[in-house]
């Protein structure tokens, strides 16, 4: 049976063209080396070496086999290095889901920071609502989730990475469109566009709770968004929406934003992951995210890197 050690033995003899020197190179005695080469030739059914009392030469079959042996051992060494790098979190891929608002600033910032330290780990990203991303995380279909107000169950842990002010999104024709900051009570007569609660229960409750804290029960319109917020709807009808501040980086034409100052409110973005996930790359992603927003002054104080 052909074994990897036979390839190494043959390469040493083929490169040295001398059994004594090859045995020294391999740190073994010459007789077992000669026996191993004879066994290799028997297994292959052909002579690889021509032996005389004066010299050792490669046959045509030997030259061909030497090229193949070199390729095989080089591939094996590459596979060994890749496996070690993957185990260290330096190679491979991470599957990351993200909330609709993360695509504007949060996810690009995390991606840039992570690529600086882990250029050979690919990030495969997909936008999802909270309920779906947590189900995917539970099933092992994704490795991490960048989420707003997720419902954290017992099998998950999380790292808070940033907080953002809550803003109101208004049509440019709205009566408050020229204001940079507004009291939420000023929108009590408006209709609020909200996603169906089952898509992100905790985030939905946060938005409604903010209105109740301001002293009114919001009139809501439920929109079944396919991917993220179809913000253009705000320009077409007399409605408003609440969102994290980073959304205003890419507002559609006809939409403006104003910061909600009363009641004061912040939305927290976190990275959620499974507690039983030991992946070094996953931990490195969390560390890169925390560092990126800490350096920008946009992270929570003393973020917790929970294992």
302 or 174, greater pLDDT = 174
* pLDDT higher than threshold 60 for residue 307: no
Residue-number span of the structural domain to which 182 is assigned: 94-307
In tens, the pLDDT along 111-133 reads 999 999 999 999 999 999 999 99
Same domain, 280 and 144: yes
In angstroms, the Cα distances linking 227 to 98, 145, 249, 276 are 11, 16, 18, 29
pLDDT at residue 231, as a whole number: 65
Same domain, 292 and 241: yes
pLDDT at residue 306, as a whole number: 35
Residue listed under structure tokens 């490669």? 58
pLDDT at residue 239, as a whole number: 86
Range in 63-72, 147-156, 166-175, 267-276 with the lowest mean pLDDT: 147-156
Same domain, 55 and 158: no
pLDDT at residue 305, as a whole number: 32
Task: Give the separation between CA 75 and CA 230, rounded to whole angstroms.
Answer: 49
In tens, the pLDDT along 178-213 reads 899 999 999 999 999 888 899 889 999 999 999 999
pLDDT at residue 301, as a whole number: 37
pLDDT at residue 300, as a whole number: 41
* pLDDT higher than threshold 70 for residue 227: no
Same domain, 166 and 73: no
Q: What is the value of pTM for the model shown?
A: 0.78
Of 98, 81, 101, 99, the C-alpha closest to 90 is 81
Same domain, 80 and 100: no
Task: Give the separation between CA 190 and CA 175, rounded to whole angstroms.
Answer: 11
Could you tell me the two tokens for 52? 């005389």
In angstroms, the Cα distances linking 32 to 8, 36, 104 are 14, 6, 66
**Among candidate residues 53, 87, 121, the one where a domain is terminated:** 87
Same domain, 164 and 289: yes
Same domain, 105 and 204: yes
Of 51, 72, 64, 267, the C-alpha closest to 161 is 267
Of 131, 127, 135, 136, the C-alpha closest to 104 is 127
pLDDT at residue 208, as a whole number: 96
pLDDT at residue 230, as a whole number: 57
Percent of the chain with pLDDT strictly greater than 70: 92
Range in 21-25, 101-105, 181-185, 227-231 with the lowest mean pLDDT: 227-231
**Among candidate residues 69, 87, 105, the one where a domain is terminated:** 87
* pLDDT higher than threshold 70 for residue 236: no
Structurally, the chain folds into a number of domains equal to: 2
- Per-residue DSSP letter, 252: P
Mean pLDDT of 13-25: 94
Confidence of residue 225 (pLDDT cuts 50, 70, 90): low
* pLDDT higher than threshold 70 for residue 226: no
In tens, the pLDDT along 64-107 reads 999 999 999 999 999 999 889 888 888 999 999 999 889 889 99
Same domain, 180 and 256: yes
In angstroms, the Cα distances linking 278 to 45, 124, 251, 273 are 48, 19, 38, 10
Mean pLDDT of 275-283: 93
**Among candidate residues 65, 87, 109, the one where a domain is terminated:** 87
The Cβ of residue 131 has, within 10 Å, a number of other Cβ atoms equal to 17
The Cβ of residue 227 has, within 10 Å, a number of other Cβ atoms equal to 11
String of DSSP letters for 169-181: EEETTSTTTT-SE
Task: Give the separation between CA 100 and CA 105, rounded to whole angstroms.
Answer: 11
């Amino acid at each position: 049976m052909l074994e990897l050690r036979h390839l190494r033995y043959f390469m040493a003899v083929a490169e040295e063209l001398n059994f004594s020197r090859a045995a020294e190179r391999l740190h073994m005695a010459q007789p077992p080396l000669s026996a191993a080469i004879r066994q290799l030739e028997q297994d292959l059914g052909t002579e690889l070496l021509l032996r005389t009392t004066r010299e050792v030469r490669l046959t045509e079959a030997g030259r061909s086999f030497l090229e193949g042996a070199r390729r095989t051992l080089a591939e094996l060494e590459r596979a060994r290095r890749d496996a070690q790098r993957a185990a260290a979190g330096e190679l491979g891929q991470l599957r990351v889901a993200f909330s609709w608002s993360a695509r504007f600033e949060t996810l690009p910032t995390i991606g840039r920071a992570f690529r600086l330290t882990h250029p050979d780990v690919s990030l495969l990203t997909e936008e999802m609502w909270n309920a779906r991303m947590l189900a995917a995380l539970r099933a092992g279909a994704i490795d991490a989730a960048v989420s707003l107000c997720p419902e954290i169950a017992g099998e998950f842990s999380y790292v808070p990475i940033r907080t953002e002010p809550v803003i109101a999104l208004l049509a440019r024709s709205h009566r408050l469109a020229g204001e940079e900051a507004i009291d939420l009570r000023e929108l009590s007569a408006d209709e609020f566009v909200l996603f169906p609660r089952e898509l992100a229960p905790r985030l939905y409750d946060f938005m409604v709770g903010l209105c109740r804290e301001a002293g009114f029960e919001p009139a809501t319109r439920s929109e079944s968004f396919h991917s993220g917020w179809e913000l253009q709807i705000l320009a077409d009808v007399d409605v408003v929406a609440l969102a994290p501040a980073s959304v205003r980086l890419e507002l559609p034409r006809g939409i403006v934003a104003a910061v909600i100052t009363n009641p004061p409110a912040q939305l927290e973005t976190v990275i959620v992951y499974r507690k039983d996930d030991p992946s070094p790359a996953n931990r490195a992603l969390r560390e890169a995210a925390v560092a990126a927003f800490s350096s920008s002054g946009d992270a929570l104080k003393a973020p917790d890197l929970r294992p």
